[in-house]
Structure 1
Amino acid sequence: MAAKRSGSIDICICTFRRPELADTLRSIAALENPAGFEIGIVVADNDDEPSAQPLVKALAQELKLPIRYRHAPARNISIARNACLDASVSDLVAFIDDDETASPGWLVELVATAEATGATAVLGPVRATYRQDAPDWMRKGDFHSTLPVWVRGEIRTGYTCNVLLRMTEESLRNRRFSLARGQTGGEDTEFFDSVVKSGGRIAFASQAFVDEVVPSSRA
């Protein structure tokens, strides 16, 4: 098992039959890197067959990205997320979804907030982008963007579509996502709820944007 590196960040992406993964990886290749940190990437493929491997291999060569590919089958998102955590060799781990693209300053903003607050986890906002055929009421309501929920001045739970985790914190050490909830949903809510109940703190980096195009099937 590789030794942990404190001056590094692993960006983790769970994927399942999404060609949009290519756009995600291209946005990561264009990131501004936080000063003093080495960046690694882990892609966990949740498909029954390792269908994303050819795309990941090709883009790793084209974009000169240090990607570690893991086949994590069973169509259970928790298996893929746990495979990412198991494959990580860094004290800091960021998660982004395979249908999102990172803004250039995404990682810099997450790290700056983590360092300023000492938080266990730092969430960033997900901006939904609607297609031209989406109805106006949906655009105005912006129902598909993601922001943290504040309760009495605190964030009590979180999400994995835009987050940085400090894996050396006691509340995160050896913690994994629930396999029982990996097919029904709520596994990330339970994960972060448990972190907070174990003494962890969650902060928000308001400028750490990632963007997500809302497909017609979800609209």
Structure 2
Amino acid sequence: MNQQETFPHSSVDTEAGAAPLKIAVGVLTYRRLDGIAKLLDVMTRQVRHPARPYHLTMVIVDNDAAGSARTTVESFGQTGAYDLIYVIEQNQGIPFARNRALDSAPPGTDLFCFLDDDEWPVDGWLDAMLETREKNRADCVYGPVQPVYPENPPEYFIKARVFERKKNEDGQRISYAASNNVMFDYPLIRSWNLRFEEKMRFTGGTDYLFFNQAIRRGMQVFWADKALVHDIVPASRMTWKWVLQRQYRLGNTFAVSEVLHGNLKRRIYRAAYGATRVVLGLAMLPAILISPYWGMRALTHLLRGAGMVNGILGHAYQEYKPNAAL
């Protein structure tokens, strides 16, 4: 049986007449106790601007049926900085846990955020999100994620910038979002009955599909450059095997999304686009000998393109399934 526990905090003083927004931050966790503890600790220090009051609830979804994070999470239940909801989702898989997070938001929630359990935001993160939302009348706000490397990381991967993510101008309207640093209009999403695709249980990429569907329905997404989140890159990911498989999976995810929710025209486009990237990647491949950055771009084109073509042909790479293999 799924379990849920709630730990309320005392009311936070706000300006007279300013109705605080009800914000929920969803975090999925699976046997990463140090990460979830660091995140919950950092969230106690969020800066609150008097002109943008809010009532915060942290929604922690433990995807370990044994509830391994319970003791760690419950130790933050009386910080006074936020309400705390702890949920166990026994169906293993990222989309199941994300949907459980959405379903566990308190009644009356205005805005919902997602963060990962290997991340931590700057102290002004939530207010920066709110400021961008206010200035642009945004339905959704997405922010930067900065990698934090282990000691003595492989120099090639640093020069190749393989773990760095795309950045935009502050306040710029963009056409994408992901679940690693995002805030969105909760009632709007619920009115559309949008869910994370549970058929993509172990493939990854359900957040790409989720926000792509929302944007196609009219959701307006804006970039909040000051809403910075730090992301730990473990040494286990700084290997050629992991990097190459990740590039293949990213392309494969785009195609699997089209197979499940796209029409014939979209599938043909994705297959042709993937084939084009394979050709481009092969043409650029010699650059790997002289430039880490351009060499990695070549591999990215080649592997993402191959992932797209194979995805349209029916192969769904299960990155998050135990012992996944190409």
Q: TM-score if structure 1 supplies the norm length?
A: 0.89
**Structure 2: gaps spanning 5 or more residues:** 1-18, 239-326
Structure 1 or 2: larger helix share?
2
Give yes or no for the alignment of 1:11 onto 2:25.
Answer: yes
Distance 1:170 1:104, change over 3 A: closer
Partner of 1:77: 94
Distance 1:80 1:171, change over 3 A: closer
**1:62 Cα shift?**
5.5
User: Which AA in structure 2 matches 1:86?
Assistant: D
Give yes or no for the alignment of 1:103 onto 2:122.
Answer: yes
Higher gyration radius (CA): 2
Equivalences for residues 104-119 of structure 1 within 5 A: 104-119=123-138
Give yes or no for the alignment of 1:26 onto 2:41.
Answer: yes
2:223 to 204, 213, 216: 204
**1:155 Cα shift?**
2.5
1:49-69: CA deviation from partner (whole Å, max 9, x where unpaired):
211111101122357642100
Structure 1 or 2: larger strand share?
1
**1:148 Cα shift?**
6.1
Aligned residues: 213
**1:31 Cα shift?**
1.1
Give yes or no for the alignment of 1:51 onto 2:68.
Answer: yes
**1:6 Cα shift?**
6.9
Equivalences for residues 137-176 of structure 1 within 5 A: 137-147=156-166, 155-169=174-188, 173-176=192-195
Distance 1:176 1:55, change over 3 A: same
Give yes or no for the alignment of 1:184 onto 2:203.
Answer: yes
Q: Partners in 2 of 1:197 and 1:126 — Cα distance?
A: 24
Q: Is the 8 A contact 1:149 1:156 kept in 2?
A: no
State the Cα RMSD in Å. Answer: 2.2
Q: Is the 8 A contact 2:146 2:231 kept in 1?
A: yes
SS in 2 for 1:169: helix
SS in 2 for 1:217: helix
Q: Is the 8 A contact 1:124 1:209 kept in 2?
A: yes
**1:138 Cα shift?**
2.3
Q: Partners in 2 of 1:172 and 1:190 — Cα distance?
A: 17
Distance 1:149 1:104, change over 3 A: closer
**1:30 Cα shift?**
1.2
64-73 or 191-200, which deviates more: 64-73
SS in 1 for 2:27: strand
